[in-house]
């Protein structure tokens, strides 16, 4: 059973930065895609960014494009989400997800991912 472990969340002021990490605890993170999603209280889980493990192609939601950067370190089995210019509306629990066979058209669909981490809280407030 794959375990994904997120870290790096916390409290930051508007305009600040955080870097989230997602690491596979036991197995090689050799999946087709690894993505970040977020869910605020009372809202549905929404797509943030994802990266194709082969080739490193990246995809972003319009709300974070230009502010967030997703990257991978294959040697460390880790995916990162660098978040800059954070705003109060970015406050959410951020989840890492992975899937071994997801197709490109489903990369933004949380229901298409098989494995999930426990989430890490990001709070943007002054």
pLDDT tens-digit readout, 40-66: 999 999 999 999 977 789 999 999 999
In this prediction, residue 27 carries a pLDDT of 62
In this prediction, residue 80 carries a pLDDT of 96
What is the rounded distance in angstroms from the CA atom of residue 73 to the CA atom of residue 71?
7
Beta strands in the chain (DSSP E): 4-7, 10-12, 18-24, 33-39, 46-52, 58-60, 68-73, 78-83, 92-99, 115-116, 120-124
Comparison of pLDDT for 43 and 24, the residue scoring more? 43
The confidence band for 28, taking pLDDT boundaries of 50, 70 and 90, is low
What's the average model confidence in pLDDT over 108-116? 95
What is the rounded distance in angstroms from the CA atom of residue 30 to the CA atom of residue 23?
11
Q: Which residue has the tokens 């870290």?
A: 7
On average, the pLDDT of the chain sits at: 92
Distance of CA 108 to the CA centre of its chain: 11
Structure tokens at 121: 């809280």
Query: Residue 32 has what DSSP assignment?
Result: S
- Specify whether the CB–CB gap between 80 and 20 falls below 8 A: yes
Q: Which residue has the tokens 């869910």?
A: 39
- Specify whether the CB–CB gap between 19 and 80 falls below 8 A: yes
């Amino acid at each position: 059973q794959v375990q994904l472990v997120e870290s790096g969340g916390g409290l930051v002021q508007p305009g600040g930065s955080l870097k989230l990490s997602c690491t596979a605890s036991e197995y090689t993170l050799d999946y087709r895609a690894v993505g970040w999603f977020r869910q605020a209280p009372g809202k549905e889980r929404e797509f943030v960014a994802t990266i194709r493990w082969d080739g490193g192609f990246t995809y972003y939601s319009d709300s974070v494009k230009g502010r967030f950067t997703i990257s991978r370190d294959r040697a460390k089995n880790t995916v990162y989400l660098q978040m800059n210019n954070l705003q109060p509306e970015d406050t959410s629990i951020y989840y890492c997800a992975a899937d071994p066979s997801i197709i490109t058209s489903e990369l933004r669909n949380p229901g298409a991912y098989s494995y999930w981490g426990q989430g890490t809280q990001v709070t943007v407030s002054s």
